[in-house]
Amino acid sequence: MSLFPSRLLCLGAVARQHQHRVISRTQQLSILTTTLKRKSGSSLSSTLDCTYGKTGRGSRSLSSSTVWRSSQQQPSSHPLPSPLDLDNSTATTTTTTTLNLARRADVDAVYVCTGANRGLGFEFVRQLLTETHGTVYGLCRDPESAHELVALSDAHPNRMHIVRTDLTVPADIASLPSKLSEMGGHERVDFLINTAGILHGSNHMPERALREVTAEWMETNFKINTVAPLLMTQALAPLMKTKVVRKKKQQQQQQQQQQQRPPSVVANLSARVGSIGDNRLGGWYSYRISKAAQNMATRTMALELARQNTIVIGLHPGTVRTGLSGPFQKGVAEGKLFEPEFSVAQMRKIIEAVEPTHSGHCFAWDGVCIPF
């Protein structure tokens, strides 16, 4: 006779008979043994020892209804947060905190943005210079060819710095803290916005079939879409700590001022196609997989960096009129192809609206959370 079904029947019987009692593991073992002996006519002590472990002194009391429920599917440990309340008609969000408003006026605030020479990265830099009073560092691989970015820097000589950075070279990324210190004397970062990404190249388009996948192109996608944001956060995380631990009484006043600094934010530009749960079309192997891996990095970093009061989120900008989406704009539905100005304004609202409870999630341009 199979023992497994009998054991399930006994668990059900124990749960029904002792639903509101709190019984120890020793008592559970005794009840199960007696019931199973009647069912099978054999000694099952060894089986029960194997299943529940040998009991002894100090065994914890346990509600039998909890034992019964343990076989049920447990709720997700990361439930999706409600959509962020964004007011699309104004430059502020209805959930923007006083501290975030104060940060806009803070001349000591520091913003770092990758991929600043074009597209969404350039628009982030432009809006941050317009809407805040802090210092903006724009990272790009070839500043000499970034004419618009250079012009923007010339227009804001005291607030804008262009940093030559090749995101595929780990040493370049690791040297950023010293560059920020040398160029602007900054040892603090408030926002890190990882906008740089790759979808296609001069000789590569997103794969439409498995036979088109190559290791070389997939590695290129991972270097830029996954590894670069991870290493950027690794390099600048020490400068993004906002949680203060009081050590000396004479520093109390200064520490209280520091404690008013809002949480720092890492925003990784993700994509809806990087969602495993939202994948209904297939294709685009390298891009999808690299963005899915980035989402995992976002969640994992969020768990660790919560200790230092840093929020880490993913952002889906929508389909935007940039070079990245250029070859794919023809099939976009009317009203769903956004200008960079609109998309970045929406993402800025999200960055200012998020709280620690939102960390580790990915949000679309409209404030709706996207499942990983």
Question: CA-to-CA distance for 359 and 155, rounded, in angstroms?
Answer: 35
Asked if the model's pLDDT at residue 169 lies above 50, the reply is yes
Angular region, 255: left φ>0, alpha ψ -120 to 50, beta rest? alpha
The residue with tokens 């002590």 is 45
Structure tokens at 246: 């009081």
pLDDT of amino acid 307: 96
Do both 199 and 274 map to the same domain?
A: yes
77-81, 132-136, 296-300, 365-369 — which is least confidently predicted?
Answer: 77-81
Within a domain: residue 79? Answer: no
Asked if the model's pLDDT at residue 79 lies above 60, the reply is yes
Helix runs in 114-239, H state only: 119-131, 147-155, 170-174, 176-184, 215-221, 228-236
Asked if the model's pLDDT at residue 71 lies above 70, the reply is no
Question: CA-to-CA distance for 118 and 304, rounded, in angstroms?
Answer: 31
More confident residue, 42 or 209: 209
Structure tokens at 211: 């036979």
Do both 63 and 123 map to the same domain?
A: no
Within a domain: residue 93? Answer: no
Give 223's contacts (C-beta < 8 A, 6+ positions apart): 167, 168
**For the domain that residue 260 is a member of, what is the CATH number?**
3.40.50.720
pLDDT in tens, 239-292: 999 875 555 554 555 555 555 689 999 999 999 999 998 898 999 999 999 999
Percent of the chain with pLDDT over 90: 59
Within a domain: residue 48? Answer: yes
Do both 208 and 325 map to the same domain?
A: yes
Question: CA-to-CA distance for 185 and 161, rounded, in angstroms?
Answer: 12
Q: Which domain holds residue 44?
A: 8-69
Asked if the model's pLDDT at residue 162 lies above 90, the reply is yes
Do both 191 and 296 map to the same domain?
A: yes
Q: Is the pTM of this model over 0.85?
A: no
Do both 175 and 217 map to the same domain?
A: yes
Question: CA-to-CA distance for 69 and 363, rounded, in angstroms?
Answer: 33
Report the domain count for the chain.
Answer: 2
Do both 286 and 177 map to the same domain?
A: yes
Within a domain: residue 82? Answer: no
Q: What is the largest CA-CA distance in the chain?
A: 89
Tell me which residue of 111, 145, 115, 146 sits closest to 130, measured CA to CA: 111
Do both 58 and 131 map to the same domain?
A: no
pLDDT in tens, 197-230: 999 888 889 999 999 999 999 999 999 999 999 9
Domain boundary residue among 69, 88, 121? 69
Read off the pLDDT band of 32 (50, 70, 90).
low
Domain boundary residue among 69, 86, 121? 69
Asked if the model's pLDDT at residue 314 lies above 80, the reply is yes
Tell me which residue of 151, 137, 142 sits closest to 179, measured CA to CA: 137
Within a domain: residue 334? Answer: yes
Do both 122 and 169 map to the same domain?
A: yes
In DSSP terms, 266 is beta-bridged to 192, 312
